Structure 1
C-alpha cells in the first residue's frame, strides 16, 4: 500500500489502527489456542490432582 498521499498524522493514525488489529488478531488466536488446549486436557474439577488422562 502506498502511503505517500497521507500526511504524517494520518500515517501515524493508520499505523495505530494496523497495530491494534494485529493485537486483536493475535489475542483471538492465543485465546482460541488456550481454550482448545484446556478443553482437550482438562476433564473435571473434582480434584486438584491431575487424572491419568490429564497427564501428558
Structure 2
C-alpha cells in the first residue's frame, strides 16, 4: 500500500496515517492550483479595464495552464518511472 509496510501498525494507527497522507495530498493539490493561478494570472493579465479577460489574455491563460498541466503530468510520469525502478531489485 503506497510503498509503506503497515504490518506493525494497529488499525487505528493505519487510519491516522492514511488520513495524514490524504490531508497532505489535498494541501499539495491546493498549493499546485494556487501556483498555476498566480503564475498564469501574473503572466497573462495586463490590465483591469474590464470584468472579463480579453481574447488575448484568455488565450494566454489557456496556453499557460495547458503547459503547466502537461509539465506536471510529465513530472508525475517520470517520478512513477523512477519509483518503479527503485522498487525493483537488481
Do they superpose with TM above 0.5? yes
Corresponding residue for 1:17? 20
Q: For residues 6-51 of structure 1, what are the alpha-carbon distances to aligned partners after superposition, in whole Å with 9 as ceiling and x for unaligned?
A: 1100000000000000110111011000111111111111334645
Q: How does 1:28-47 map to 2 (within 5 A)?
A: 28-47=31-50
TM-score (norm 1): 0.81
Instruction: Show structure 1 runs of 5+ residues with no match.
Output: none
How far 1:3 sits from its partner (Å)?
0.7
How many matched pairs? 56
TM-score (norm 2): 0.54
**Is the helix fraction higher in 1 or 2?**
2
Task: Please give the root-mean-square deviation of Cα atoms over the aligned residues, in Å.
Answer: 1.8
